[in-house]
Amino acid sequence: MIKLDYGFSKKVPYNYEEALVKAADALKSEGFGILTEIDVKDTLKKKLNAELKPYKILGACNPPYAFKALKEEEQIGLMLPCNVIVFVNENDETIVSAIDPIASMSAVKNEKLGIIAEEIRNKLKNVIENI
């Protein structure tokens, strides 16, 4: 696993489609559901007629933690859901990455969110490690 300034990333030994399934399964095992799925490749093709390797953004939500966060900071929805990306890089390797909620929540000046963000960070790290 590679730690980014704003997330966690891992090259996986699966093709793109298999990685999407593995990512969804790993998210489910940590209590997340996928609320949104954005096919960036398809969108850029339609809107710009631009070519891009396969790339999807999965909007993952863990409802109990989202509820806790919203109770502490009603506008935290601006930072939700947690994004997980599955893509094929320039070397034709399949990559799965997840946002680090500690990094994204650092802009919010609410100490009560720190515990929630740390717990979600651990869950998302587990997702990436277990794919």
Confidence at 82, pLDDT banded by 50, 70, 90: very high
Number of domains, the chain: 1
Residues 6+ apart with CB under 8 A from 77: 70
Task: Convert the pLDDT of each residue in 38-81 to its tens digit.
Answer: 999 999 999 999 999 999 999 999 999 999 999 999 999 999 99
Task: Convert the pLDDT of each residue in 95-116 to its tens digit.
Answer: 999 999 999 888 888 888 989 9
Residues 6+ apart with CB under 8 A from 51: 45
Task: Convert the pLDDT of each residue in 15-47 to its tens digit.
Answer: 999 999 999 999 999 999 999 999 999 999 999
Cβ burial, residue 44 (10 Å; 0-12/13-18/19+): middle
- Which pLDDT value is given to residue 107? 81
Give the CATH number for residue 105: 3.30.310.70
- Which residue did the predictor score with more confidence, 7 or 1? 7
* Residue 53 lies in domain: 2-129
